[in-house]
Amino acid sequence: MEPQVLVEASTALPLVTVTVAERTGAVDDPEGKEGLSRLAARLVRRTGDGLPTEELDEKIDSLGASLSVDVGQSTCQFHGTVIGRSLERFSDLVVAVLSRPSLSGEELGKLKRETLADLVEARENDRDLAQKWFRKTLFAGHLYGRSVSGTPASIASISDADVRSHVAGTLAAKNLVFAFSGDVDETTARALATRIAGALPPGEARVDRVPEPAPLPKGRKLVLVDKPDRTQTQIYIGCLGTHPHDEDHVALHVGNTIFGGTFTARLMKEVRSKRGWSYGAYSNLPYDRRRRGFSLWTFPKADDAAPCIALELSLLEKWVEGGITPRELAWAKRYLVRSHAFAVDTAAKRLAQRLDEVLYGLPPGYHSEYLERVQAVTVEDVNAAIRKRITPEDLVITVLGTAKDVLVPIRTAIGHLTSEEIVPFDRDD
């Protein structure tokens, strides 16, 4: 079988990027073994060609190359970058790394201990903690609610056999997509992809069994991540968002651009420009194979947290009830169409779009016909999409802050609170 290969050639720089992407990610981790995909991919990278990690890294570095691995909810990608003159030797190394990892038990032990230490260190990052609890709450009971990195308990439970079985099932030719950009021609790229694929077991492309997330329960749910001595809060507010196959997907994106997608959008204007409450104020609408979340992110000082939340909720309500104006739509279209130049200005970015289409099962022409679809959106389309998808009465609100300072005023600001949970910042589940 011919491997699936994407190529975006460019001689602008003497660099080549090589991506080998699995169609699997953290959602494929077995229950109780969260973090397995990431651990396994990192172990492949560290024990490739049966070499000790340090020796392998020396070889890669000395070529003027880098090889990293990035594991998300739905994909796992090995990314290589190399100075063009070393492409041939780097290619040999990539083939050897992916086809002959030793998956040594000693290295696995080291990696597990390192991961556990990383999980402790992660408690210092307030934004990540707030984001983690927002995701866990929004996708409670769903695979998207899981942590890609795992938990101390799940990492501890992962065995050599788990890793070997996972690698055998996922690092298989039919489960991979190959992508190349930069100073490389199509023939060279295809030859390298064929070499890698030929050195791996054929396997099977993983079947995507992730269900659609369930609608949010009625009402507003507050999760307060309690951390001592915070002068500032980290706030995420949101609900379920959009799916690339939704008919109103592009319309909702346009609506989000107007609400909180740019530096002059409604949210930024009200929170930062008028009141100076938060350095950043954005709303976000990512995509995946299934419906993901819609979220607002702000980080006001502790004293401003409650009024900031009240303001965000009122802006959301106004957006849903009042919709957008023709003038706002015309402006958003000009912004989206003109700024698209920066989504395709390098070979690496063009390649990333094509790779996303394959890995996330995006509708045909998702990126290449994006501008036409934006231009076709009407005010009615946007307002209907907002009303259908955004639910100001049913929300998850996650705040990282010091509970004794902020809980009471926040509770009052939210109103209609149907449930409330306070979690210590160092809770690891």
Partner 1 sequence: MAGSSSPGARRAAYLALLNEKAPPFGKVTWERSVPFGRALSVESFRLENGLRVLVCEDRSAPVVAYHTWYRVGSRHEKEGKTGLAHLFEHLMFNETENLGAGELDRKLEEAGAESNAATWLDWTQYNIAVPKDRLPLVAKLESERMQRLVLRDPQVASEKEVVANERRYRVDDDVEGAVSELLWATAFKSHAYKWPTIGWMPDIEGFTTEDCRVFYDTFYAPNNATIVVVGDVPEKRVLELVVKEYGSIEPSVLPDEDVRPEPPQREERVVHVNKPATTEKLVVGYHAPALGDFDHPALSLLTEVLFGGRASRIYRKMVRELELAVDVSGSVGPFHDPGLFEIYVSVREGKTAAEALAVLDAELDRLQESPVLASELERAKARTELSLLAGLDTVDGKASTIGFYDTVLGRPAGAFEKLETTLALTPSDLLRVARRYLGRDNRSVLFVHPEKGHAGAAA
DSSP-derived letter for residue 325 is -
Q: State which of positions 231-250 bind partner 1 (CB under 8 A).
A: 231-232
Min dist. Cβ of residue 240 to partner 1 (A): 28
CA–CA distance, 114 with 271 (Å, rounded to integer): 40
The length of the chain is 429
**Contact track, partner 1, 250-269, x by CB under 8 A:** ------------xxx----x
Considering CB under 8 A, how many residues would be counted as binding partner 1? 69
Burial letters 359-376, b for 16+ CB under 10 A, else e: bbbbeeebbeebeebbee
H helix or E strand, kind and range, residue 178? strand 176-182
**Closest CB to partner 1 among 216 and 308?**
308
Q: How far is the CB of 102 from partner 1 (least distance, A)?
A: 16
Q: Does 61 bind partner 1 (CB under 8 A)?
A: yes
What is the distance between the alpha carbons of residues 145 and 27, in angstroms, rounded to a whole number?
9
Distant-in-sequence, close-in-space partners of 197: CB < 8 Å, separation ≥ 6 = 3, 173, 176, 178
| Cβ 408 to partner 1 shortest distance, Å | 21
Stretches 58-66, 248-256, 282-290, 403-411: which one binds partner 1 (CB under 8 A)? 58-66
* Distance in Å, CB of 251 to partner 1, minimum: 20
Quote the DSSP letter at residue 286.
-
3-state SS, residue 399: strand
> At a CB cut-off of 8 Å and minimum separation 6, what does 60 contact?
66, 67, 90, 93
Of 140, 337, 371, 384, the one binding partner 1 (CB under 8 A) is 337
Q: Which string of x and - marks every residue 316-335 that binds partner 1 (by CB under 8 A)?
A: ---------------x--xx
Reduced 3-state DSSP string for 20-74: EEECCCHHHCCCCCCCHHHHHHHHHHHHHHHCCHHHHHHHHHHCCEEEEEEECCC
| Among residues 4, 50, 64, 194, the one that binds partner 1 under rule CB under 8 A | 64
Q: Closer CB to partner 1, residue 29 or residue 126?
A: 126
Interface with partner 1 (CB under 8 A), residue from 339, 375, 378, 419: 339
Residue 52 φ/ψ, nearest 5 degrees? -60, 150
15 binds partner 1 (CB under 8 A): yes
> Judged by CB under 8 A, which of 50, 70, 79, 83 binds partner 1?
83
> 117-156: which residues touch partner 1 (CB under 8 A)?
117-118, 120-121, 123-124, 126, 151-153, 156
Q: How far is the CB of 111 from partner 1 (least distance, A)?
A: 10
Q: Which is nearer to partner 1, 146 or 292 (CB)?
A: 146
Region from 10-18, 28-36, 352-360, 372-380 binding partner 1, contact rule CB under 8 A: 10-18
Least spacing, CB of residue 393 vs partner 1, in Å: 29
Strands 76-83 and 65-71: antiparallel
Cα three-residue angle 321-324-329, rounded to 5 degrees: 165
- Say if residue 84 is exposed, middle or buried (CB neighbours under 10 Å; 0-12, 13-18, 19+): middle
Q: Residue 145 burial by CB count (10 A; 0-12/13-18/19+): exposed, middle or buried?
A: middle
Told to check if 114 binds partner 1 by CB under 8 A, we report yes
Q: Which residues bind partner 1 (CB under 8 A)?
A: 10, 12-15, 53-54, 57-58, 61-66, 81-83, 110, 113-114, 116-118, 120-121, 123-124, 126, 151-153, 156, 227-232, 262-264, 269, 272-279, 299-301, 331, 334-335, 337-342, 344-346, 348, 426, 428
